[in-house]
Amino acid sequence: MPLVPVSLFARLILLAAPAWFARRHDPSQKAHQLFFAVIALHAMQSLLLTLRWGHGIEPAGRFAGFTAPVLPVIAYMSCRALSAPLRCAAGAFGRSRSFW
């Protein structure tokens, strides 16, 4: 019987989330593209770490090191892009308060 690590189930959900997100939202908007990139990069990093630590494939660990510094930057950019409409909507009603 093959070894199935617990992170496999989380990775399957992470791989299904971008497909669902791409069907339900407009992929031409920058905020949606960045959010899609965060989810896809997180799924790829999860896959690489599962291969490295769950199945003992050593080269996968080297590639996971390349995704580690990029993930927080894209997550920050995605959060800023997704919160921009909230700030614009608040300013339209005379309130200058930011939600973040």
Domain layout of the chain by residue ranges: 7-92
> For position 3, what pLDDT does the model report?
66
Handedness of CA 62, 68, 70, 71 (dihedral sign): positive
27: pLDDT confidence band, cut at 50, 70 and 90?
confident
Residue 11 CB coordination number (10 Å): 19
pTM of the shown model: 0.68
Whether the predicted pLDDT of 86 surpasses 60:
no
78: exposed, middle or buried (Cβ count in 10 Å: 0-12, 13-18, 19+): buried
Whether the predicted pLDDT of 95 surpasses 60:
no
Whether the predicted pLDDT of 88 surpasses 60:
no
- The rounded mean pLDDT for the chain is 76
> For position 87, what pLDDT does the model report?
57
Most confident of 16-20, 54-58, 77-81: 77-81
Q: CB under 8 Å, gap of 24 or more: what pairs does 58-64 form? A: none
> Would you state the structure tokens that stand for residue 91, as one six-digit string?
């300013």
Most confident of 5-9, 15-19, 72-76: 72-76
